[in-house]
Amino acid sequence: MDIRIGNGYDVHALAEGLPLWLGGVLVESPIGCIAHSDGDVAIHALCDALLGALALGDIGKHFPDTSSEFKGIDSKILLARVMELIRREGWNVVNADITIAMQRPKLAPYIVAMRECLAEVMQISVDRVSVKATTTENLGFVGRSEGCEVYAVALLGK
C-alpha cells in the first residue's frame, strides 16, 4: 500500500460572545473563534493535514477567506470537499489525530461527539478519528484564552 502523511496547524483568536465550533460540534462557551468561516479551527487543521498529505496546498488556497462564498460557512462543508478531492485521486484516510490546545472551557465532554461528527463527514469509521484536548497550563496566548490552537496529523493510503 502506498501511504502519505500530512500535518496541519491552525490558530484562531478568541472573543467573547461568539459561537465556539470545534470538530463540527457547537461547544457551550462564553468565548468563540473570530473567523471568516464558522471558525472551526479543529476542522481547518484537519483539512490542512489531509491536503498536506497529497501536497495539495492548504485550505486558504482552496477556500480563500477573501471570497464571500465562504463567509460564515460551516467548516464541515469544507472538510467534505477536501475528502472529495482526496477520494477523486484514489486515496482514503487511514487515520487522523487532532490535538486541540485551549485553556477553557473544558472540552472533555465533547470529544466523543467531535470524533463521531468528523468520522461521519469523512465517511470513515470513528476508531480512525482521534480528538484530544489539552490546556497549556495557563502559559502563552492559549493559556490566556486569547486563542485556540490545533495540531492535526492524517495518514492516507491507496
Question: Considering only CA atoms, which of 13, 11, 10, 9 is closest in space to residue 31?
Answer: 13
Instruction: Annotate each residue in 109-138 with x if it binds Mg ion (CB under 5 A) or - if it does not, as one string.
Output: ------------------------------
| Crossing angle of the two packed helices 41-53 and 75-88, in degrees rounded to 10 | 10
Question: Considering only CA atoms, which of 102, 111, 151, 158 is closest in space to residue 130?
Answer: 111
> Which CB sits closer to Mg ion, 10 or 149?
10
- For residue 146, the minimal CB distance to Mg ion (Å) is 15
Q: Pick out residues in 28-67 that bind Mg ion (CB under 5 A).
A: 44
- Using CB under 5 A as the binding criterion, the count of chain residues that bind Mg ion stands at 2
> Which CB sits closer to Mg ion, 44 or 115?
44
10 interacts with Mg ion by CB under 5 A: yes
Sole residue written with cell 471570497: 67
Alpha-helix runs per DSSP H in 7-150 = 41-53, 59-62, 75-88, 111-122, 140-143
- For residue 22, the minimal CB distance to Mg ion (Å) is 12
Stretch that binds Mg ion, among 7-15, 78-86, 130-138, 139-147 (CB under 5 A): 7-15
CA atoms within 13 A on the CB side of 22: 35
Stretch that binds Mg ion, among 9-17, 64-72, 103-111, 137-145 (CB under 5 A): 9-17
Stretch that binds Mg ion, among 1-9, 10-18, 79-87, 128-136 (CB under 5 A): 10-18
- For residue 75, the minimal CB distance to Mg ion (Å) is 8
d(CA 5, CA 76): 21
Q: For 83-97, give the DSSP string.
A: HHHHHHTT-EEEEEE
- Which residues of this protein are in contact with Mg ion, per CB under 5 A? 10, 44
